[in-house]
Structure 1
């Protein structure tokens, strides 16, 4: 068959012929020269014409049958690969051409070593051809071209990091369905795509581990740690034993995975975690596996489990002062959080051990926390921290990751129980220790996770109380959430979404009784719009959309009887590109 009739070259040839000669003559010549070479085909064509079957349909069906027959023969063949060298050479040019590409793909899938190095280089030059290559061929190409492999993986990692659903579940400090969350993470299309590229190839997996270390060193986000953890465990779940057994972090990850699934840290599993770390105790030089272990421990679901465990352990000491031996599990789990928190430092500086915790500072904090937990059980309590409590808490919130995580877990418990006195004394220090621009990734991520989870608890459990109980509104909204919006666009957006959620018939109840509480939401929205952070141009469109949704939602329920139109919010919306729509909405509000 004349190759110039296929692909771009074929199109150019036919176009040139049709423009240079009589089109009818060209078509007849092409049909005669390149039609089906079958006996009596000239008698069959008129019959097919009567059935309104075009030449394209006929030839496509024949081509499909021939290609399938050839692929079936390749798949079932037990012949050595050299028998197919000529066929591969003849069909490789058609890797990027429709149904014909199935033939070289079938050959390369079965005999990945059949292609020469020169043919591999040619495949890389054409993105369409490379995309059509079977995965076995891509792995062979990546092994010879590390930069190409890293470029390909970087695209996947970027998409993973910016996936909104994955970001949402990674910031949830109180996951409801843990098993479902793990399934969502490990069956995510991007994770599946990376697993597909690794397969059971130990060399590609080693290349991926080296690459993800480089990525983490440059961008030490928790999402990279989650991916590191989930990929290892997904390989375990697929029973790719040859692959995961070369990973020195496997034993610790396997134990940790069981703890997270069951949300339990018992003595046995704590001992297993301790044993997994023992091999690194007397290292003479840095091991990349130690950095890998630290990365896995930095996964948010792991550190949330650890911090919640410490808080629950401290509760058991409320009625009886703990002995030194009773505090050992707390110290071990605190060390695990600390190891994860120092993953970047360990990798960057090739440390053999994580920096030690300040024992005196942490012991003082544990004592303060036990005292606060004991106060929560008293009938008469202070609504403010004592001088000693305030001094200790303020001394750790900005600096100590372990203490900060445990303290935030305490506040989330108080929010769950709507313990207003506990919230009144424990929320102010959080406002005093917003992460500065120079803060670590974990400090910022921890605060964002806390605010997302805190507001989710209020939304799910306490919105009616927020609108109907002045003491709840004051402590949670007026003294905490509204002032917190000045810190970042993240909190600002979530607080406005909380306002929107207030305009729900299930929350407001009868509109006749909702006037004052709804007006209060308008006051909060006005102040939030005035003082909330608007320092990130990338998120301004979303803020406009949220404030517009707030105005629209208030107008849409109960026939507009509970609508709001705070002047400052309406002025802010007039800065939006959709100026005319906003002004129309303002006129509607004024007419109402």
Structure 2
């Protein structure tokens, strides 16, 4: 391919004696060398069809044939021919109509010369049009460029999760994990980017762990699990099999699907941990990072609380005698202290605080027993199991495991419709504001189960008075979820009376609150006013019907 570039053309036309003759020679030299086409060219000139347009039309017609021919050469593994084609055609890669053809050659090259790779990377317009196969080869050697591509995708994943946590019509943590990863554009984009390139997968995995260590955002762990299982969904996939904790994550994924970690799966996890007990990378890096996923934390905490209820049913008095409970607690503890383990301040093999088993959990069991035995569920009756409040609260503040178990205990108490016990425990949430009760992950699940379980708005009023009203102005997301509860109350009988109690004072956002909160608040006011209008219309209609009946009665008598 002998191409006359701009400077060569300029030199030729400047120094020639007959420009028209020079132009004709250039056209003859660089035009399509087919005798059948030559006679038609003068006619196209008369029709004012530019030679450029003509050549581009021919090129578009031939593009698919050329690409097919290149694919045939690749199937025959004709490396020499491909190299020759690349060398001759790369000079025109900047031409938009030719770029796909050159990229097709590059895509099938087993090894791309550095000079071509460097040129593509340095020219954004060409790089953006590169096929994914070529980009993977570039990313394998250029980690910085790959990280640049990853950053907006990972950021979008966090945005999507935050948006879902702000929706209480569904519980984000009850969504089936396979459905979540198959419907997530982020996961599908990452799978497409990585393909079967194990090195790129390792870069993503390492990047997510580093991001967690830098920010403590637990959703990076969720993304790591979803990505691994997305590759697992692809049968015989080499990427998932290359991950050292593939079996471990597979078992956890099954537990999420069934919404419980049964004894069989616990044994499988225990066997995996025993088999890799001396592998510090697995035990003190990969496992804690996976266990900090809020979906895993949720299922482990729920399993622990349900085991406490089971202990009461089976009349097993001491948590320290329950090996199944202790194993779940160990996993949960590692998830909650994952950052400390990755930072080297803790180890997976560190024992759980004995006081949790001998003092704290027995308190929770006593609460369960008293709730079952109690017959007076009026709001004036109080717990007989007096908790040493200062010691009890201080222990939860100092122990993330105890705090997480208590938060889950309250969620399960509402879920099981044990409202009397729940109302006794609500005040403790005010003491745990900085330790989880103001977190979106907790509030999302808590408010969901309150809305699903509580039919009497009286109990929601108690919850609002004892927690949401006290914390709404100082914590934006508590205010937000309080507005969600008020919106829920509107649909209940006499709900407008309870809403009016809070709407214009306790839950009115201030200047310091975000536009998002103000929009939600004003929308709730509109819903409230519409509800009042509907009630007023209903009352007027009923009054009119009653009046008509009385008039009819008077006529006949």
TM-score interval, normalised by the smaller of the two chains: 0.7 to 0.9
Alpha-carbon contact 2:300-2:328 (below 8 Å) kept: yes
Alpha-carbon contact 1:554-1:560 (below 8 Å) kept: no
> Per-residue deviation at 1:292?
0.9
Aligned length: 521
> Per-residue deviation at 1:336?
0.1
Distance 1:409 1:289, change over 3 A: closer
The aligned counterpart of 1:494 is: 481
Residue-by-residue CA offset, 1:178-219 (whole Å, 9 max, x unaligned) = 42x432235411111212222212222223333222222212
For 2:205 and 2:334, locate their aligned partners in 1 and report how far apart those are by CA, in whole Å.
Answer: 19
The aligned counterpart of 2:553 is: none
Q: Does 1:520 align with 2:498?
A: yes
For 2:238 and 2:53, locate their aligned partners in 1 and report how far apart those are by CA, in whole Å.
Answer: 48
One of 516, 519, 526 as aligned partner of 1:552 = 526
For 1:496 and 1:74, locate their aligned partners in 2 and report how far apart those are by CA, in whole Å.
Answer: 62
Residue-by-residue CA offset, 1:482-536 (whole Å, 9 max, x unaligned) = 2231342112122223334444xxx156xxxx5xx42431331223345x68656
Distance 1:131 1:99, change over 3 A: same
> Per-residue deviation at 1:293?
0.9
One of 343, 361, 364 as aligned partner of 1:369 = 364
One of 324, 335, 342 as aligned partner of 1:340 = 335
Alpha-carbon contact 2:173-2:295 (below 8 Å) kept: no
Give SS of 1:527's match.
Answer: coil
Alpha-carbon contact 2:356-2:402 (below 8 Å) kept: no
Unpaired runs of at least 5, structure 1: 18-26, 564-592
Residue-by-residue CA offset, 1:137-172 (whole Å, 9 max, x unaligned) = 222222322222223223322222222467529999
Residue-by-residue CA offset, 1:92-139 (whole Å, 9 max, x unaligned) = 3444543322112211221141x2112211211122222222233222
Unpaired runs of at least 5, structure 2: 14-22, 538-557
One of 67, 73, 79 as aligned partner of 2:63 = 67
For 2:408 and 2:29, locate their aligned partners in 1 and report how far apart those are by CA, in whole Å.
Answer: 78
For 1:543 and 1:166, locate their aligned partners in 2 and report how far apart those are by CA, in whole Å.
Answer: 14
Deviates more, 1:238-247 or 1:553-562: 553-562
Residues 59-458 of structure 1 correspond to what in structure 2 (within 5 A)? 60-77=56-73, 78-95=76-93, 97-113=95-111, 115-164=112-161, 167-168=164-165, 178-179=175-176, 181-282=177-278, 286-287=280-281, 290-319=284-313, 320-322=315-317, 326-349=321-344, 352-353=347-348, 355-378=350-373, 379-380=375-376, 382-384=381-383, 386-388=385-387, 390-391=389-390, 393-435=392-434, 443=436, 447-458=439-450
Deviates more, 1:351-360 or 1:301-310: 351-360
Alpha-carbon contact 2:289-2:335 (below 8 Å) kept: yes
Which of the pair has more CA radius of gyration? 2
Deviates more, 1:168-177 or 1:118-127: 168-177
* TM score, norm. by length of structure 1: 0.76
Alpha-carbon contact 1:365-1:392 (below 8 Å) kept: no
> Per-residue deviation at 1:244?
2.5
Alpha-carbon contact 1:288-1:347 (below 8 Å) kept: no
For 2:228 and 2:203, locate their aligned partners in 1 and report how far apart those are by CA, in whole Å.
Answer: 14
CA RMSD across the alignment: 3.9
Give SS of 2:398's match.
Answer: coil
> Per-residue deviation at 1:57?
8.0
> Per-residue deviation at 1:256?
1.2
Distance 1:364 1:3, change over 3 A: farther
> Per-residue deviation at 1:405?
2.4
Distance 1:318 1:455, change over 3 A: same
The aligned counterpart of 2:456 is: 465
For 2:423 and 2:286, locate their aligned partners in 1 and report how far apart those are by CA, in whole Å.
Answer: 40
Give SS of 1:154's match.
Answer: helix
Give SS of 2:439's match.
Answer: helix
